[in-house]
């Protein structure tokens, strides 16, 4: 390794002199130290002129709240599902149990991780390899993908929230995840220590994972009696029903399990119209693999617009939610904050460079619940977003996204396979180009 040049006292003095020579630096320092960067950099004109009106709005009721957890992908997918269920049951308000979905996702992930790593250990993968260390560091977070959510719903169904409510650990998952992570780290260490006992190690760790989850989240129902009063005051009774039967009866008509995931991978080496997948990324052993069809961003927009306008159903998506976000007022626009002008820095990376150099990746999932379409009937101007951060911010929990922000920071949408043209449908039957586990397209919402 070449010798690094130290920051000398002379160099530091030159930096100080340069800072002090420009009076705007002191003004910026005074403002930011007192008010914070977002208040100083906020583009007043852009903020006040960003309209909150839409030519198409999908009413999905009160915004949900994931609290101190990373379950946005479950909340957002269940928000799409609850729209269907409310319509089928004639309900004005309804919410699925996100705790139930998380319970089985984590239980399945314990099994998936143990078997995945066991195969690597048996194949001779070194314990200090980049792959093993990545899997150990990334294990048992809360994030996920649309396909992973569908794997859970297809196998375990869903239940109403009041029948399996939140717990202290479901709304604040940190300590539970720490214990599960410690359990799995211990199991991997035992696998390397005694390869002949790997099967026993898996069985013991899986049973311990089940105990930990049940202690933290409660025991989920195997069946339940379902009865409700619809928005017109009419009483209904299903009698005893299983979670899978409940999902199939009230959500199955939408065919959500058959949706495909479209992504905008902007890197030139990954061709549009081709499938990509991420090695070692999944939750349910034997479930559908986590794969995407790489398409132009404009095609994603066109699909979302058509679903909202023609079908009137929310659309799940994944994005990098942090850049240029006004959380309190519920807005995203690429010029909503002028950070570069405050710092006198040119942040000039494009979308491909941001992905390639670890400046941006999908980290949050939400649902589109409206769009403003121009007079030509196809051009989109802005988007209404159902978030899962509660109803006390934004427009009662609903955000507004500019169309240019969609271009730059939306990475994934889930749409019906039937919407795809013939060449894209054919591409779904081809094997995916598999990317390594640490690839940015494997980032979880």
Buried b (16+ CB within 10 A) or exposed e, 154-185: bebbbbbbeebebeebbeebeebbebbbebbe
d(CA 442, CA 144): 10
Question: What element of type H or E holds 267?
Answer: none
SS (H, E, C) 363-405: CEEEEEEEEEECCCCCCEEEEEEECCECCCCCECCEEEEEHHH
Q: Tell me the backbone φ, ψ of residue 108, rounded to 5 degrees.
A: -65, -35
Q: Tell me the backbone φ, ψ of residue 318, rounded to 5 degrees.
A: -125, 140
Residues marked as catalytic:
72, 364, 387
d(CA 297, CA 306): 14
Q: Which residues are CB-contacts of 261 (< 8 A; sequence separation ≥ 6)?
A: 145, 146, 147, 291, 292, 293, 412, 413, 414
Chain position carrying tokens 């030139």: 268
Paired tokens of 39? 């208040």
Chain position carrying tokens 């709240």: 65
């Amino acid at each position: 390794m070449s010798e690094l040049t130290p920051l000398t006292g002379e160099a530091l003095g030159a930096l100080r002199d340069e800072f002090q020579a420009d009076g705007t630096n002191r003004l910026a320092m005074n403002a930011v130290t007192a008010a914070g960067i977002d208040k100083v950099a906020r583009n007043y004109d852009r903020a006040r002129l960003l309209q909150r009106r839409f030519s198409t709005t999908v009413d999905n009721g009160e915004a949900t709240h994931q609290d101190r957890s990373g379950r946005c992908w479950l909340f957002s997918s269940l928000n799409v599902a609850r729209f269907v269920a409310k319509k089928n049951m004639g309900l004005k308000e309804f919410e699925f149990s996100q705790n139930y979905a998380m319970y089985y996702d984590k239980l399945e992930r314990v099994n998936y991780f143990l078997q995945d790593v066991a195969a690597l250990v048996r194949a001779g993968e070194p314990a200090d390899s980049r792959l093993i260390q990545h899997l150990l560091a990334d294990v048992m977070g809360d994030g996920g993908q649309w396909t992973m959510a569908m794997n859970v719903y297809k196998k375990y169904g869903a239940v109403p929230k009041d029948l399996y409510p939140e717990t202290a650990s479901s709304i604040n998952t940190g300590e539970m995840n720490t214990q599960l992570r410690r359990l799995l780290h211990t199991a991997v260490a035992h696998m390397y220590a005694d390869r002949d006992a790997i099967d026993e190690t898996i069985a013991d760790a899986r049973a311990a994972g089940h105990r930990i989850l049940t202690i933290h989240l409660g025991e989920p129902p195997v069946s339940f009696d379902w009865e409700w009063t619809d928005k017109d005051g009419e009483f209904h009774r299903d009698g005893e029903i299983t979670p899978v039967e409940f999902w199939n009866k009230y959500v199955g008509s939408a065919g959500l399990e058959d949706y495909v995931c479209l992504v905008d991978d902007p890197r030139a080496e990954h061709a549009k119209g081709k499938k990509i997948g991420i090695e070692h990324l999944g939750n349910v052993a034997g479930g559908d693999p986590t794969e995407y069809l790489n398409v132009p961003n404009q095609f994603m927009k066109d699909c979302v617009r058509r679903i909202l306008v023609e079908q009137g159903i929310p659309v799940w998506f994944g994005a990098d939610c942090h850049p240029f976000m006004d959380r309190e007022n519920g807005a995203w626009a690429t010029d909503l904050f002028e950070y570069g002008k405050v710092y006198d820095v040119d942040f000039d990376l494009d979308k491909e460079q941001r992905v390639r150099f670890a400046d941006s990746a999908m980290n949050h999932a939400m649902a589109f619940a409206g769009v403003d379409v121009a007079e030509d009937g196809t051009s989109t101007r802005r988007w209404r977003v159902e978030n899962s951060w509660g109803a006390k911010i934004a427009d009662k929990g609903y955000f507004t996204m500019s169309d240019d922000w969609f271009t730059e920071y939306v990475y994934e949408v889930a749409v019906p396979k039937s919407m795809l043209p013939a060449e894209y449908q054919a591409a779904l039957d081809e094997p995916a180009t598999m990317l390594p586990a640490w690839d940015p397209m494997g980032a979880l919402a």
